[in-house]
Amino acid sequence: MEPSKDILRLIEIMAALRHPETGCPWDIEQNFETIKPYTIEEAYEVSDAIERGDMDDLCDELGDLLLQVVFHARMAEEAGEFSFGDVVNAITTKMIRRHPHVFARSAADTPDAVKIQWDEIKQAEKRERAERRSSRRGITEDFNGGFLGSVQRSFPALTEALKLQERAAKVGFDWSAPEPILDKIEEEIGELRVALSEGDRAKVSDELGDLIFAVVNIGRHVKTDPEQALRGTNTKFRRRFSHIEQVLDKEGETLEAASLERMEEIWQAAKAIERAVTAGTE
């Protein structure tokens, strides 16, 4: 079998990999649950390639993500549920329906008007989807109903928190300014201190969640996506910790043997280097 730019070749490859007699043993034994973590991982790797500006990696990672879509569609087809063609049909139907200002020449001619129209169409789709789900066995609604029902629980927790807050803000359930949120963060820190002093692990987890939720809220008010802000901090941590590792290696010392005081000293040196580099580019 030869590679191709035609999506049909990828579908054929996946069908061959899943063939019960001649396919790949690993691919054959997979199911939706076992593949789900890989799907999430590939989406994050696409995001990482974008952040690094690596177009070669982006092309490769988008292919990996597309493979995940084909994989899930193939398993669904084997179960008699839907095929890859149904997935394509669903998304093309959705995009045409949600853009009547392009495909049906509606009157939405500003970004705000398009957003209002988009939300109205999504609400109609949500009602239709709920009706379909109610006719299928084994599907529980749980959090799919109500005003917050459009916020998927499948989102990463930070993203879910952000979207819940954005949704609630649409009906006025929101802080009016960032300053009161800072007060709320301090309040949550105090409650976390109490929980820690009591040694109640369940309460600590609960209070920590409240604190993170409040921090997400301040990010939203200052127009800073908390997921991206945290990823930036993660990158900074990687860079500084790598500096610690490199310095210790030059000194003939290992991370395991180094004292916390020595590592903190090198960490502060790394920060000073970053500040100097930043000042030099201004």
Q: Indicate the SS3 state at residue 2.
A: coil
Q: Using 50, 70 and 90 to split pLDDT, how confident is the model at 70?
A: very high
Q: Using 50, 70 and 90 to split pLDDT, how confident is the model at 135?
A: low
What pLDDT, in 10s, does the model give residues 169-180?
999 999 989 999
Q: Considering the chain, what is the average pLDDT of its residues?
A: 89
The predicted structure's pLDDT at residue 215: 95
Contact, 98 vs 80, CB < 8 A? no
What pLDDT, in 10s, does the model give residues 11-51?
999 999 999 999 999 999 999 999 998 998 999 899 889 98
In the chain, DSSP finds a helix count (H) and a strand count (E) of 12, 0
| Average pLDDT of span 49-78 | 96
Which pTM was predicted?
A: 0.57
Quote the CA–CA distance of 259 and 261 in Å, as a whole number: 5
Indicate whether 55 pLDDT > 90: yes
Tokens of 181: 């949120």
Quote the CA–CA distance of 78 and 74 in Å, as a whole number: 6
CA atoms within 13 A of residue 232's CA, in its CB half-sphere? 6
Quote the CA–CA distance of 282 and 279 in Å, as a whole number: 5
> Counting every residue, how long is the chain?
282
